[in-house]
Amino acid sequence: GQNIDQPTEMTATEGAIVQINCTYQTSGFNGLFWYQQHAGEAPTFLSYNVLDGLEEKGRFSSFLSRSKGYSYLLLKELQMKDSASYLCAVRLTTGGGNKLTFGTGTQLKVEL
């Protein structure tokens, strides 16, 4: 079966750096995505990794190690608006096509 684990909650201070980890055990791995979801809104795409290494996009970076089944999302210079749920999702290639399988999400609270 597929298993994707993330911490349930994290708290960090405005201006700081926070790292949200994601571990996965899946078959048919075809990329890892990070999404941000504010309460009552749709998930929005943040980053994508398919090869090992770090992808940087402004204040957000994402890292992947396929051999370890591990990814993290790094948020720098935290702002209050970064308070949201962060969803790790693995794209799987099955006999029928690609699908995103999501972790349960990490609720990040940014405090003053």
Partner 1 sequence: DTAVSQTPKYLVTQMGNDKSIKCEQNLGHDTMYWYKQDSKKFLKIMFSYNNKELIINETVPNRFSPKSPDKAHLNLHINSLELGDSAVYFCASSPTGTGIGYTFGSGTRLTVV
Site residues (CB under 8 A) for partner 1? 31, 33, 35, 37, 41-46, 48, 50, 85, 87, 89, 94, 96-102, 104-105
Which is nearer to partner 1, 19 or 94 (by Cβ)? 94
Rounded to the nearest whole angstrom, what is the least distance from the CB of residue 19 to partner 1 in the complex? Answer: 21
Q: How far is CA 38 from the centre of its chain?
A: 14
Looking at beta carbons only, is 51 or 112 nearer to partner 1?
51
Q: How, if at all, do strands 53-57 and 60-65 pair?
A: antiparallel
Torsion angle in degrees (nearest 10) through CA of 10, 12, 17, 18? 0
Q: How far is the CB of 15 from partner 1 (least distance, A)?
A: 27
User: In whole angstroms, what is the distance from residue 56 CA to residue 73 CA?
Assistant: 10
